[in-house]
Amino acid sequence: MTGTLWLVPNTLDLGTEEVGLQDVLALGAIRRAAALSHWVVEDARNARGFIKRVAAVQALAQPLQSLDIRELPRPRKGSGQEVAAAEWQALLKPALEGQDIGLLSEAGLPAVADPGATLVQAAHAAGVPVQALPGASSLMLALACSGLNGQSFAFVGYLPQEATARAARLRELETWSRRHQQTQLAIETPYRNAALLEGMLAALQPATRLSISCGLTLPQGWTRTDTVAAWRSKTTAFPDRVPAVFAFLAQ
């Protein structure tokens, strides 16, 4: 029997004050996480912290110290080479031997805007079943809160940091959004949130509707949707360590 690769959702409070685990994750997901002995994660230290939070709700099947926790492989800096397929396959060895594996991101749902997608792809290629547990996705929560078009939308990831390239990309996305009435979703490293907002207000048309969700699922979380013109007349300050999701829809 082949084990299953379980996509275990994380909270969205990385780098901020922790929220109650059961305020964000379903009890069924917590119980499934507690039963796992093998993990593939972005950061082992942060993963152990998450598993400790799980253990406070549901007893672990094995002591934390005995769990097999492995980190996702990363290309060597400056090498220009991708991670070899054999490294991804090696992470699936427990599943091929009949053991379940948990895939954990730093925040939110694994494999969504996340390097874990490559492991999911490898699992499908190896015939390992993949199951996703329910949990928070900042992208979907932001879209739901925005009031923008939820029937047609695209996640465009990180925008260029250089001002000229970023402005050109924003105008390109705005043209597409207007033509197809498609909401565009983007993210940025928290300490650059203010710079991205400044770039958006400079590049986008006044009538374009811009929505920003900051600190979703946190007590101080908020969403504001308004025209670019209104944002220009009354901007919003960002905390420098809290993640945000940016969405816009051109008129």
Please provide the DSSP assignment of 88-141 as one string. HHHHTHHHHTT--EEEE-SSSSTTSSSTTHHHHHHHHHHT--EEEPP---HHHH
Residue 79: per-residue pLDDT: 58
Could you give the percent of the chain with pLDDT greater than 90?
Answer: 88
Which domains are assigned to the chain? Answer: 5-132 (3.40.1010.10), 138-249 (3.30.950.10)
Residue 238: per-residue pLDDT: 80
Q: How confident is the model at residue 78 (pLDDT cuts 50, 70, 90)?
A: low
Residue 83: per-residue pLDDT: 83
- Mean pLDDT of all residues in the chain? 94
What is the per-residue pLDDT across 160-183, written as a single tens digit (0 to 9) for each?
Answer: 999 999 999 999 999 999 999 999
Crossing angle (nearest 10°) for helices 44-57 and 27-35? 120
Q: Give me Rg for the CA atoms of the chain.
A: 20
Residue 53 CB neighbours (<10 A): 18
Higher-scoring residue by pLDDT: 47, 239? 47
- Distance from C-alpha of 129 to C-alpha of 195, rounded to nearest angstrom: 42
Reply yes or no on whether the pLDDT at 29 is more than 60: yes
- Distance from C-alpha of 243 to C-alpha of 13, rounded to nearest angstrom: 9
Residue 100: per-residue pLDDT: 98
Q: With helix as H, strand as E and coil as C, how does 155-174 read?
A: EEEECCCCHHHHHHHHHHHH
169 contacts 159 by C-beta, under 8 angstroms: yes
Residue type, 135: G
Reply yes or no on whether the pLDDT at 94 is more than 70: yes
Within the chain, how many helices (H) and strands (E) appear? Answer: 10, 10
Tokens representing residue 153 in the block? 């939308």
Residue 1: per-residue pLDDT: 87
Reply yes or no on whether the pLDDT at 76 is more than 80: no
Could you give the percent of the chain with pLDDT greater than 70?
Answer: 98
Reply yes or no on whether the pLDDT at 155 is more than 90: yes
Reply yes or no on whether the pLDDT at 233 is more than 70: yes
Tokens representing residue 60 in the block? 């672990």
Residue type, 89: Q
* Kind plus residue range of the DSSP H or E element containing 226: strand 222-227
Quote the pTM value: 0.91
What is the per-residue pLDDT across 49-73, written as a single tens digit (0 to 9) for each?
Answer: 999 999 999 999 999 999 999 999 9
Residue 65: per-residue pLDDT: 96
Residue 77: per-residue pLDDT: 64
